[in-house]
Amino acid sequence: MNIDFSKYPLPKRLRHHTSPNFYMPVNAMKGIPAYYPPVHEKINWSKYFINGKIPDMLDIGCGKGSFLFQIALNNPDKNILGIELRLLPVQWIEGVIKGEGLENAGVMWYSVVNGMHFINDVTIDAAFYLFPDPWPKKKHNKRRAFNQNLLKELHRILKNDGKLYLASDLKEIHNYHIETLNSSGLFIFEEIINDSNWGLPVTNKEKFCRENNIEFYRLKCCKMVQ
């Protein structure tokens, strides 16, 4: 099955960046802005998946959903949930899912800095965190969603044989991922050079990097079980 995206024109005012507030957890703000993504504690999964089942995989920062759609099509027996900060891409992805009748794909407008309490322990097969917004300036490092809190949440929700996949086109961010993983002590990981050892669909960002000879970096992480 292939999706004819010409049936789903993208919003004209679709921007790459969003409000910096979205990278701050609600417990760190004096007041929650009206435009802030909803914070969830419990979820009725029938709202996100036509089949009503729990997610098996997570695409954190799913953007315009090309990777999300391909994973869903390649794994019809698995539910994949995309999590995205920007509302317009979420609404567009919802339109594609509805139009194509994709039972195993769902998307949520949400900021993972607030945790993922709505996902039960040891239920996720794989989580993807690919080419995130880097926040390269030192003064903006606190806005990076990839931190010890996120790793603790991912460790909690991943199955014992679950995998975490990371990618970036910036060496600084790649090194930051490695340092954060090492500090956590929650995952063992390997850098992936060969595509055959990666085995995932190509994201829009990876495609851009390949077409423009831009180096990119990938890590496959395995949950450590005590």
**pLDDT reported for residue 23:** 74
Spatial CA neighbour of 219 closest among 154, 163, 162, 142: 163
Q: Is residue 18 scored above 70 in pLDDT?
A: no
Q: What global pTM score does this model have? A: 0.93
Q: What is the pLDDT of residues 171-201, one digit of tens each?
A: 999 999 999 999 999 999 999 999 999 999 9
Give the Cα separation of 212 and 202 in Å (integer).
Answer: 15
Mean pLDDT of the chain: 91
pLDDT at residue 15, rounded to an integer: 64
Q: How confident is the model at residue 21 (pLDDT cuts 50, 70, 90)?
A: confident
**Torsion region of 63: left, alpha or beta (phi above 0 gives left; psi -120 to 50 gives alpha):** left
Higher pLDDT, 28 or 69: 69
- Answer whether residue 14 shows pLDDT above 70: no
Domains of the chain and CATH, by start? 41-223 (3.40.50.150)
Bigger pLDDT: 32 or 169? Answer: 169
- pLDDT of 16 above 80: no
Supply the residues annotated as catalytic: 133
> Regarding predicted confidence, which is higher, 27 or 100?
100
Question: pLDDT by residue (tens digit) across 103-148?
Answer: 999 999 999 999 999 999 999 999 999 998 866 666 666 768 899 9
